[in-house]
Structure formats: C-alpha cells, structure tokens
Amino acid sequence: MNGPPIPWGCLRVTDQMISQVGTLEELRRRPDESLRDFPDAVLMPGLINAHCHLELGMVRNLLPPGEAFPMWVSRLRKALEGAAPEDYRQASRLGALECLKNGTTTVVDVGNTGESLHELASLPIRSFPYLEVIGLDPALAQSRLENALHRLGALPKASGLFSPGITGHAPYSCSPELLRGLAAAMPQASGPFTMHVAESAEEYAMFKEGKGALLDFCRRIFPGWAEPAGQSPIAFLAAKNALPRNAILAHCNRADAADIRILAEANCSVAHCPRSKAFFGHEGFPVQAMRDAGLNLCLGTDSLASNEGLSLFDEMAELHRQHPELPCTDIVAMATVNGAKALGRSGELGVLRPGAAADFIAITLRHHPEYDLFEEIVGESHEVLTAVVNGEEVFG
C-alpha cells in the first residue's frame, strides 16, 4: 500500500519495526539474520478492523437475519441473558484469535461489559478497545460519564499494543449531553472517538420523521424523549455539537448529500460493515458520493450477532460483490491504509515501509501475471500463513 507490489519482495524486521523493504538481493541478508521464506504467497500489511464487538461472539448464528432492528436488540438481550463475565472474556479471546487467523492485526473493538478490554490488554493483537455506555436521559449524562471514567480507570492502562478509550453507542441510545461529555473526556492515549450512526431505516425515520419502531422502542426506555423531528441522525448530531472531529463512525448507510458534507467537514472516517448490512437488509451506503467528497472509508465486521465470521477478507469480497464498480486496490486500502488513517496512525500501520510497525501477514496466492494482484486478493480465498504483530509472529 506504499507503492506498486514488489515481485519476490522481502521485508527486514528489526525489533518491532520494518526497517527495509525491497527484493532479497537488495536487502542483502546478513550472516546473523534469520530468514523466513513464503513461496507462492503475498506479504501485505496486517488488516485493520475498524468496527467490531468481540465480546458478543457467543451468540454466533443464534439470531435470525432480516429482522427489524428493535426486534434484533430484544433477541440479542435474550440470547445474552445469564452470560457470565468469563463468557464475554472467552468470546473476546476467541474473537481476537479468529481475527489473527484471518489476517487482522488491529481491531477497533467496542464492548459495554468491559470484559473485552481486560482480555485485549494482554492479547497479542493491536487493539483500540472502547468501553461503551448508553443513556438517553440528559439528567443522567454526568453520572454515566463519571461511572464510565471510573470503570475505565479500573481497567489496564494503555501500553504497547493496547489503547483503551470510552465511547457512546448511538444518537438514539445516548443523549447529546452524554456524547459531548464522553468525547471531551477521551484519554490522551486513546484512539479517536467512535460511535454508531445512521445505520438503519428505523433510525432515519426516528430522527427525520419522528416516528417508527425505533422511536417507540426508545420511548419505552426513556419516556421523556422530546427531540423535534426533521433532521437526519447525522445532522441531528452536528446540530447538537455531538459529532466530534476525526471520529470513526460505524455504518452511515443512511447519509444524504448534506450528511456527507457534514462528515467531510468534521474529517470523520466511516467504518462500513458490508456483511452486517446484508444481514439486516439495510439499504443505502452511498459509496460513490462519499468517495467524491473525499471521506476516509474503512471496513469493519461488526459483531457475530450480525455476521457469520470476523474475516476482513470476507468483508472485502462482500463489498466487491455489492459494489463491483469499486477498484480492488481501493477495497484493500479500506482494510489497511484507510483504517490506519482513521486511527491517526498513517505511515505506522496498514503499510509496509521502513519505519512502520512490523504488523504484517503472508497469505497464500499464486499470482498469475495476466491478472490484477488486487483482484486476486479481494476475489479469492486465501490461507493466512503467518500474522506478525509488532515484530512478533503471533499466528503461523
């Protein structure tokens, strides 16, 4: 992602960094260096999952696709009834392993139990995990925020691969007061603010038209909801000063031209989740208009409550099916350099270049010169032969 592919390419890894990139001849192996050879393989940056919820792994395949969002939430709650902290931890461990097995070396993970943060602190995957809070009642915003900061303070501190933060869920589950407070209180070492927005038709109808199943659902939880209708979810956030600059926004399926302008002006990144979108049957995601506006588009898996797996290669393949007009180089960029840009880590993650973190993978691929390499990466299935994070081989 830092120039054209290099035939017979070679990387030199020194400590936790990539120190040189070229051919084996150019790198000139030193006698004291070990060499790992991956014939018929592509070395590429480790993939970056810009939106997932690893702790929900225990509900894989339990929820039916295609239901209205409020019904899905009810089923999810029921499926999680009785789950113990260790269940969430185990799901997080297995989820992280599934990511590494499938070539993902960085995750932006959101969880509301805090258990995934405990696990990710000691797992060999680069993580930006967020403790997620909700609270529609503005009167509760301060206490929810203080509670979140208290819980975050009791979690392992940021170090090495681990950059924890706090976040709010969505504009229909958090008051603007709470979202503003959370964004302002983000610890320095965290990644950017992140949240869900403009995912479903129900969410759009709630804000734009002041009606629908999601509004009914939210009113049952917080009867005091009295926001006037007439704005899209994104315009609502902007009007309430609750759309932080540089945020990573999951979904944005329902975004009109004015919304896209708002996102571009706030320099936000969009974490698109193609298979989760297909699971729910959500419509929208104006990818060309977003690209024209210069929005930074990334890829996420969302959770196993709305997806069958955590492979970003499968997300790239699904996006390619949904949008065959997108260049495959750009699809691979969404899972690598764009994710790094969203995290404010351009040049350090998602790229193979001297000075970048040694986060890379080798995948099986018998490249044929008649084909475009990026089409082969996106359009075929591969075995991940190794995953290296911070210079350590963690899977292979």
Q: In the complex, which residues of this chain contact Zn ion (CB under 5 A)?
A: 302
Q: What minimum distance in Å lies between the beta carbon of 306 and Zn ion? A: 8
**323 Cα distance to chain centroid:** 19
Closest separation in Å from C-beta 230 to Zn ion: 26
**Given the complex with Zn ion, which of 105 and 303 has the nearer CB atom?**
303
Give the residue carrying structure tokens 């005091």: 224
Closer to Zn ion at the Cβ: 269 or 390?
269
C-beta of 174: minimal distance to Zn ion in Å? Answer: 14
Q: In terms of residues, how long is the chain?
A: 396
Residue with Cβ nearer Zn ion (21 or 242): 242
Q: How far is the CB of 8 from Zn ion (least distance, A)?
A: 41
Which backbone phi and psi does 227 adopt, to 5 degrees? -70, 130
Structure-token pair, residue 354:
């001297």
The pair of three-digit structure tokens given for residue 335, joined into one six-digit string: 């899972």
CA gap 297, 339 in Å, rounded: 8
Task: Provide the minimum distance between the beta carbon of 240 and Zn ion in the complex, in angstroms, as a whole number.
Answer: 21
Q: How far is the CB of 276 from Zn ion (least distance, A)?
A: 7
In the complex with Zn ion, the residue whose CB is nearer, 302 or 359, is: 302
Question: Residue 250 CB, nearest distance to Zn ion (Å)?
Answer: 5
Strand order in the sheet with 41-45: 41-45, 360-364, 384-389, 392-395
Q: What are phi and psi of 354, to 5 degrees?
A: -60, 135
In the complex, minimum distance from the CB of residue 220 to Zn ion, in angstroms, rounded to a whole number? 22
Residue nearest to Zn ion (CB): 302
Longest alpha-carbon distance in the chain: 72
Calpha distance 135→144 (Å, rounded)? 7
**Which residue's CB is nearer to Zn ion, number 17 or number 73?**
73
Q: CA-to-CA distance for 128 and 65, rounded, in angstroms? A: 28
Q: In this complex, which beta carbon is closest to Zn ion, that of residue 18 or of residue 268?
A: 268
Which of 35, 189, 52 lies closest to 109, judged by CA? 52
> Minimum distance from CB of 56 to Zn ion (Å)?
9
With respect to Zn ion, which residue has the nearer C-beta, 227 or 302? 302
Residue 119 or residue 302: which is nearer to Zn ion going by CB? 302
CB of 298 to Zn ion, least distance (A): 13
Minimum CB distance to Zn ion smaller for 243 or for 377 = 243
CA distances in angstroms from 171 to 47, 70, 262, listed in the order given: 29, 15, 16
Nearest residue (CB) to Zn ion, 177 versus 302: 302
